[in-house]
């Protein structure tokens, strides 16, 4: 088989189906050439040669492939009318690596290969452009020495040795831009660069073009086994024998005069998704100049240019003179470019991002790839391509990265403002969105400013109200399922958690990062989609949901086999989730209702009571409040099923831990401060997450279960009577580990329900089920299923207890574990299929052994994470449940899993 695949001249030995052999870049170059797009001619040395090189060494491999390489270069020479290694009419080449997936740490690019002192003279003769040639030469030496000869800074604090020389010369010449160098300066640079090479390598810079070429090819192969590439491969599980291809291609120059140009273009708008060809170009320039912003690039289309002129308030005359479009300057070439971009988009059936160069009136396409785009553009383009008939429904759905839908649902930072903002610190992107406000350090002071950002070491349920008031939340500790993160996502509130660099001092009300200090009241902005914490105010804008978004949702529901429900604790969240298409509630955490001012009092009274009678008195005060909440939720859910979970957290979360609030509590309840302190001490546990919580509460204080069951059943009966809504309550017992503890709770619920039905002289249907969140429960799932109507996997606790990682403390070491590759993902974010997943699968299977129709769902945070949703589909769950703002993500993920 071939070692070298040629492309160019509208032909190619390979094509896009040979990605494994030619790498992504090589396969695309071949494909373009094959469909008649003019790419600079070249060839790809296959990934197999890379593997042979690793096994057999340099000499054998070069000997073997040399005849093919020479022949391929002859073809390039014929097409380009120049000769590789010739002094008078030199052909210059670019050399790039290209594995089947793009990989950081691989050798990047060497341009202008083939230059030496003689070729420089010849090229000056040929082009008449001395500056261009010397500049190309010094760039070549610099690039080649860096990537091929491995000339790096000696100490990590040092500048790149070549940059150091450049800086030095600029200082001496008192200039700031590379473009200000004279021809003599460039010649001096070349001389100095070569000296550095001689000193550092002990050899002269290679002047023979063939030596240069083999050097570059071998460097690409070596980079496949470089430290960074190895690390990256290990992390992603890419095998060593994939190897990398090497792409060698004729150089084309956009800087050979007024009939030359270079640019970047997109087949559609990458920001909005509009079907408008657009891009930028520069006359007489090289690719880098467009990106580097040395000169202001011009618009490719006339329409783009006019739009731009309008914004910049430039008159039509000025526009035509100084900022004309390519469409106006080179109409024929523009037409050609326009046709290629259409052809490429139709061919790849996706929005393309292309690079092109015009060399002396001839258009070359250098690269095409599927263009990066915003979430909004992603949705619009996929739905447009579907409508245009370029994609079928399933392919259009698969074009959606569900996570990116987040961008559409929360307020967003203005991208321009974001570019200018200063990043203070980086945390975890716990809850997406954009928020700007003044720093407060205490939840009960969240209302101190109109817009506040609550900055805490960590949050607790006591902070709930303040979190709700604040625009956004930052914590120094805690991971993706820390209290702050879970609550914030539920609220759709922007949150950055686990920003370890923040040194928060509650006493001085300051926040330190490095030696920078921020005070209460200082403005900061947080980006919950990236985890960035930014200085000052950064402008935001509201998202708008498009018609295409609605189309996408409809399409998803057509294919998805699982329902998507929401986790919601109040009518407001329930309504938001309904508007996003949630078909029920998978988890209402009832404890969140107890934290409002009036309720916490009654709750504390209940906790403080030493007798059943005392507790019942306090519970009677809570009953009407809970009932009212449930009524609101049932109403909002319009008859869709609502899973309500009985009280779950350890009671100590409901009592105050600071002296001032303890005093308030003593006063409220007319007892001594000592009594309060004693109770707080009594409730304190070494390991509360494994302590007195979940159904252990309901089994030690059955009257709590009784009150909650009554509130649920009464609420459903009331809503039926008053609004005519037939609710579907599903009462859920948390943290079950033994059959008996579930049975005891079930009995209380059933008795309470029957008693209530009798009083109301009416009935409603309801079910009783359990959380699956303790490993033991999944082992005994068959026994539990005999008595339970449904299972809901609480994968937050299940992950915590399977790994033995505290969900509130794991942030401390998870970061290191991820960096070292001990874990691939944060298991609290992406369901660990290998371990926790086994328990989920087994629990489901064993449960259904005894009850084939058992309803199974998930309500841990994983219910809104696409790959975990796919796993839930595989296991055969009936539904997933997630925070309201994740409902659209889960709907698309569920559809993708099913197709
Ligand atoms: C869980 O453990 O996954 C769960 C949903 O319950 P919580 O997060 O309230 O413990
Ligand atoms: Mg739990």
Residue 730 Cα to ligand 2 midpoint, Å, equals 17
Q: What is the pLDDT of residues 23-38, one digit of tens each?
A: 999 999 999 999 999 9
Say yes or no to pLDDT of 483 above 80: no
In the numeric block, which tokens belong to residue 37? 């797009």
Query: Which residue among 482, 734, 840 is best mutated to probe the pocket of ligand 1, counting the most ligand atoms within 8 A of its Cβ?
Result: 734
pTM: 0.81
Query: Which three-class secondary structure string do you get for 817-846?
Result: HHHCCCCCCCCCCCCCCCCHHHHHHHHHHH
Strand order in the sheet with 503-505: 503-505, 510-513, 516-519
Mean model confidence pLDDT for the chain: 92
Residue 481 Cα to ligand 1 midpoint, Å, equals 9
Q: Which comes out higher in pLDDT, residue 809 or 585?
A: 585
DSSP 809: T
Which atom of ligand 1 is nearest to 797's Cα?
Answer: 2
831 lines ligand 1 (CB under 6 A): no
860 lines ligand 1 (CB under 6 A): yes
What is the rounded CA–CA span in Å between residue 117 and residue 204? 13
Confidence of residue 760 (pLDDT cuts 50, 70, 90): very high
Least confident of 70-74, 390-394, 671-675: 671-675
What is the residue with the minimal CA distance to atom 9 of ligand 1? 589
Q: Average pLDDT in the 820-847 region?
A: 95
Residues whose CB falls within 8 Å of the CB of residue 207, separated by 6 or more in sequence, listed in order: 116, 117
Residues whose CB falls within 8 Å of the CB of residue 416, separated by 6 or more in sequence, listed in order: none
797 lines ligand 1 (CB under 6 A): yes
What is the rounded CA–CA span in Å between residue 95 and residue 112? 9
Query: Which residue among 567, 796, 808 is best mutated to probe the pocket of ligand 1, counting the most ligand atoms within 8 A of its Cβ?
Result: 796
In the numeric block, which tokens belong to residue 485? 């993160």
Query: Which three-class secondary structure string do you get for 718-773?
Result: HHHHHHCCCCEEEEEECCCCCHHHHHHHHHHHHHHHHHHHHHHCCCCCCEEEEEEC
648 lines ligand 1 (CB under 6 A): yes
Say yes or no to pLDDT of 682 above 80: yes
Q: Please give the pLDDT value at position 270.
A: 82
What is the rounded CA–CA span in Å between residue 353 and residue 364? 14
- Phi then psi dihedrals of residue 264, to 5 deg: -130, 135
Of the listed ligands, the closest to the CA of 795 is 1
Residue 589 Cα to ligand 1 midpoint, Å, equals 9
| Predicted-complex ipTM score | 0.99
589 lines ligand 1 (CB under 6 A): yes
Residue 801 Cα to ligand 2 midpoint, Å, equals 10
For residue 133, the tally of other CB atoms under 10 A from its CB is: 22
Residue 828 Cα to ligand 2 midpoint, Å, equals 12
Distance of CA 661 to the CA centre of its chain: 40
795 lines ligand 1 (CB under 6 A): yes
Which atom of ligand 1 is nearest to 486's Cα?
Answer: 8
What is the residue with the minimal CA distance to atom 3 of ligand 1? 794
794 lines ligand 1 (CB under 6 A): yes
Of 484, 485, 472, residue with least CA distance to 434: 472
Residue 489 Cα to ligand 2 midpoint, Å, equals 16
> Quick one: 724 exposed, middle or buried, by C-beta within 10 A (0-12, 13-18, 19+)?
exposed
Instruction: Determine what percent of the chain is predicted with pLDDT higher than 70.
Output: 97
Name the helix (H) or strand (E) containing 364: strand 362-370
862 lines ligand 1 (CB under 6 A): no
Query: Highest mean pLDDT range out of 237-246, 740-749, 803-812, 816-825?
Result: 740-749
Q: Which comes out higher in pLDDT, residue 592 or 758?
A: 758
What is the rounded CA–CA span in Å between residue 203 and residue 393? 60
Residues whose CB falls within 8 Å of the CB of residue 351, separated by 6 or more in sequence, listed in order: 266, 267, 268, 270, 273, 345, 370, 371, 373, 377, 381
Residue 611 Cα to ligand 1 midpoint, Å, equals 30
Q: Please give the pLDDT value at position 240.
A: 85
- Which residues on neighbouring strands pair with residue 533, listed in sequence order? 425, 526
SS3 label, residue 538: coil
Say yes or no to pLDDT of 479 above 80: no
What is the residue with the minimal CA distance to atom 1 of ligand 1? 794
DSSP 90: B
Q: What is the pLDDT of residues 383-437, one digit of tens each?
A: 999 999 999 999 999 999 998 898 788 778 888 888 899 999 988 878 878 999 9
Say yes or no to pLDDT of 99 above 80: yes
Say yes or no to pLDDT of 294 above 60: no
800 lines ligand 1 (CB under 6 A): no
773 lines ligand 1 (CB under 6 A): yes
DSSP 83: B
Q: Average pLDDT in the 102-127 region?
A: 88
Q: Average pLDDT in the 495-501 region?
A: 88
What is the residue with the minimal CA distance to atom 6 of ligand 1? 794
DSSP 268-313: S-TTT--S--EEEEEET--HHHHHHTSSPPEESSHHHHHHHHHHHT
DSSP 82: -
Confidence of residue 293 (pLDDT cuts 50, 70, 90): very low
Of the listed ligands, the closest to the CA of 828 is 1
For residue 546, the tally of other CB atoms under 10 A from its CB is: 16
Q: Please give the pLDDT value at position 492.
A: 67
859 lines ligand 1 (CB under 6 A): yes
Name the helix (H) or strand (E) containing 42: strand 42-45
For residue 75, the tally of other CB atoms under 10 A from its CB is: 17
Q: What is the pLDDT of residues 313-366, one digit of tens each?
A: 789 999 999 889 999 999 999 999 999 999 999 999 999 989 999 998 999 999
What is the residue with the minimal CA distance to atom 4 of ligand 1? 794
Q: Average pLDDT in the 832-851 region?
A: 98
Confidence of residue 105 (pLDDT cuts 50, 70, 90): low
What is the rounded CA–CA span in Å between residue 229 and residue 234? 9
Q: Please give the pLDDT value at position 176.
A: 77
What is the rounded CA–CA span in Å between residue 366 and residue 354? 7
Which atom of ligand 1 is nearest to 734's Cα?
Answer: 6
Q: Average pLDDT in the 867-891 region?
A: 97
What is the rounded CA–CA span in Å between residue 761 and residue 717? 10
Q: Please give the pLDDT value at position 79.
A: 93
What is the rounded CA–CA span in Å between residue 826 and residue 818? 7
What is the rounded CA–CA span in Å between residue 632 and residue 255? 69
Confidence of residue 548 (pLDDT cuts 50, 70, 90): very high
What is the residue with the minimal CA distance to atom 10 of ligand 1? 797
883 lines ligand 1 (CB under 6 A): no
What is the rounded CA–CA span in Å between residue 787 and residue 850? 10
Of the listed ligands, the closest to the CA of 794 is 1
What is the rounded CA–CA span in Å between residue 191 and residue 189? 5
Say yes or no to pLDDT of 312 above 90: no
What is the rounded CA–CA span in Å between residue 56 and residue 62? 10
In the chain, the domains with their CATH numbers are 1-115+217-251 (3.30.1490.20), 117-207 (1.20.80.30), 261-373 (3.30.470.20), 411-541 (3.50.30.10), 560-586+621-648+691-898 (3.20.20.60)
Mutual orientation of helices 58-80 and 209-224 as an angle, nearest 10°? 120
Whether the CB-CB separation of 834 and 796 falls below 8 Å is answered with: no
Residue 646 Cα to ligand 1 midpoint, Å, equals 12
24 lines ligand 1 (CB under 6 A): no
CA angle, 239 as apex, 5 and 55 as ends, to 5°? 65
Residue 649 Cα to ligand 1 midpoint, Å, equals 10
The residues carrying an active-site annotation are 483, 859
Query: Highest mean pLDDT range out of 251-265, 399-413, 585-599, 710-724?
Result: 710-724
What is the residue with the minimal CA distance to atom 8 of ligand 1? 796
Confidence of residue 262 (pLDDT cuts 50, 70, 90): very high
Query: Which residue among 646, 734, 770, 860 is best mutated to probe the pocket of ligand 1, counting the most ligand atoms within 8 A of its Cβ?
Result: 860
What is the rounded CA–CA span in Å between residue 517 and residue 51? 53
């Amino acid at each position: 088989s071939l070692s070298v695949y040629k492309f160019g001249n509208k032909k190619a030995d390979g094509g896009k189906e040979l990605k494994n052999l030619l790498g992504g870049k090589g396969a695309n170059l071949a494909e373009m050439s094959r469909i008649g797009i003019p790419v600079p001619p070249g060839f790809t040395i296959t990934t197999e040669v890379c593997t042979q090189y690793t096994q057999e060494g340099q000499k054998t491999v070069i000997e073997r492939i040399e005849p093919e390489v020479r022949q391929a270069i002859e073809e390039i020479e014929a097409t380009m009318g120049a000769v590789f290694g010739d002094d008078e009419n030199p052909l210059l080449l670019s050399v790039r690596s290209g594995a089947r997936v793009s990989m950081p740490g691989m050798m990047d690019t060497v341009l202008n290969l083939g230059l030496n002192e003689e070729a420089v003279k010849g090229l000056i003769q040929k082009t008449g452009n001395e500056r261009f040639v010397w500049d190309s030469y010094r760039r070549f030496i610099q690039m080649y020495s860096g990537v091929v000869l491995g000339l790096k800074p000696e100490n990590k604090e040092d500048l790149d040795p070549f940059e150091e020389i450049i800086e030095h010369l600029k200082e001496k010449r008192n200039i700031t831009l590379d473009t200000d160098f004279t021809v003599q300066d460039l010649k001096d640079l070349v001389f100095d660069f070569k000296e550095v090479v001689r000193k550092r390598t002990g050899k002269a810079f290679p002047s023979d073009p063939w030596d240069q070429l083999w050097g570059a090819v071998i460097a690409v192969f070596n980079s496949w086994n470089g430290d960074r590439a190895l690390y990256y491969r290990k992390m992603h599980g890419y095998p060593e024998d994939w190897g990398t291809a090497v792409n060698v291609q004729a150089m084309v120059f956009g800087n050979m005069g007024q009939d030359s140009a270079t640019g970047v273009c997109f087949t559609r708008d990458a920001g909005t998704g509009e079907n408008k060809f657009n891009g930028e170009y520069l006359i007489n320039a090289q690719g880098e100049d467009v990106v580097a912003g040395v000169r202001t690039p011009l618009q490719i289309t006339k329409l783009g240019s006019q739009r731009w002129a309008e914004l910049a308030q430039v008159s039509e005359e000025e526009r035509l003179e100084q900022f004309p479009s390519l469409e106006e300057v080179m109409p024929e070439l523009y037409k050609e470019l326009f046709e290629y971009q259409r052809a490429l988009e139709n061919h790849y059936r996706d929005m393309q991002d292309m690079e092109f160069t015009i060399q002396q009136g001839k258009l070359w396409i250098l690269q095409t790839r599927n263009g990066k785009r915003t979430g909004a553009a992603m949705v619009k383009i996929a739905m447009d391509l579907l409508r245009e008939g370029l994609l079928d429904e399933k392919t259009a759905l698969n074009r959606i990265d569900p996570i990116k839908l987040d961008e559409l649902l929360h307020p967003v930072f203005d991208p321009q403002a974001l570019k200018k903002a200063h990043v203070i610190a980086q945390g975890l992107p716990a809850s997406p969105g954009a928020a700007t406000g003044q720093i407060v350090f205490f939840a009960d002071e969240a209302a101190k400013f109109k817009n506040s950002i609550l900055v805490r070491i960590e949050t607790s349920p006591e902070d709930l109200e303040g979190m709700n008031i604040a625009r956004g939340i930052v914590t120094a500790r805690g991971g993706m399922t820390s209290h702050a993160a879970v609550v914030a996502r539920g609220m759709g509130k922007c949150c950055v958690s686990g920003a370890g660099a923040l040194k928060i001092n509650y006493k001085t009300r300051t926040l330190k990062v490095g030696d920078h200090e921020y005070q209460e009241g200082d403005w900061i902005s947080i980006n919950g989609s990236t985890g960035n914490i930014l200085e000052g105010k950064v402008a935001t804008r509201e998202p708008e949901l498009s018609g295409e978004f609605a189309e996408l949702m409809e399409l998803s529901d057509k294919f998805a086999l699982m329902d998507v429900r929401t986790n919601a604790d109040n009518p407001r969240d329930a309504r938001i989730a309904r508007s996003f298409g949630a078909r029920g509630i998978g988890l209402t955490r009832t404890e969140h209702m107890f934290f409002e001012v009036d309720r916490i009092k009654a709750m504390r009274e209940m906790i403080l009571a030493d007798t059943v009678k005392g507790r019942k008195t306090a519970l009677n005060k809570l009953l009407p409040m809970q009932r009212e909440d449930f009524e609101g939720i049932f109403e909002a859910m319009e008859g869709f099923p609502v899973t309500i979970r009985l009280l779950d957290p350890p009671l100590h979360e409901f009592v105050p831990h600071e002296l001032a609030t303890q005093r308030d509590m003593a006063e409220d309840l007319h007892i001594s401060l000592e009594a309060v302190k004693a109770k707080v001490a009594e409730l304190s546990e070494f390991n509360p997450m494994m302590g007195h919580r979940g159904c252990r509460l309901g089994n030690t204080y059955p009257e709590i279960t009784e009150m909650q069951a009554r509130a649920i059943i009464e609420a459903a009966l009331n809503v039926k009577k008053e609004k005519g809504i037939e609710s579907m309550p599903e009462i859920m017992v948390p943290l079950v580990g033994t059959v008996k503890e579930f049975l005891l709770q079930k009995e209380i619920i059933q008795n309470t329900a029957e008693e209530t039905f009798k009083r109301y002289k009416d009935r409603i249907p309801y079910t009783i089920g359990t959380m699956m969140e303790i490993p033991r429960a999944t082992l005994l799932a068959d026994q539990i299923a005999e008595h339970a109507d449904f299972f809901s996997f609480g994968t937050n606790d299940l992950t915590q207890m399977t790994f033995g990682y505290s969900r509130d403390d794991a942030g401390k070491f998870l970061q290191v574990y991820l960096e070292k590759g001990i874990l691939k993902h944060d298991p609290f974010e992406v369901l660990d299929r290998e371990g926790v997943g086994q328990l989920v699968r087994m629990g489901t299977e064993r449960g259904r052994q005894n009850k084939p129709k058992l309803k199974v769902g998930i309500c841990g945070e994983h219910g809104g994470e696409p790959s975990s949703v796919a796993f839930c589909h595989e296991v055969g769950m009936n539904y997933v449940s997630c925070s309201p703002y994740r409902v659209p993500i889960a709907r698309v993920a569920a559809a993708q899993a099913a197709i």
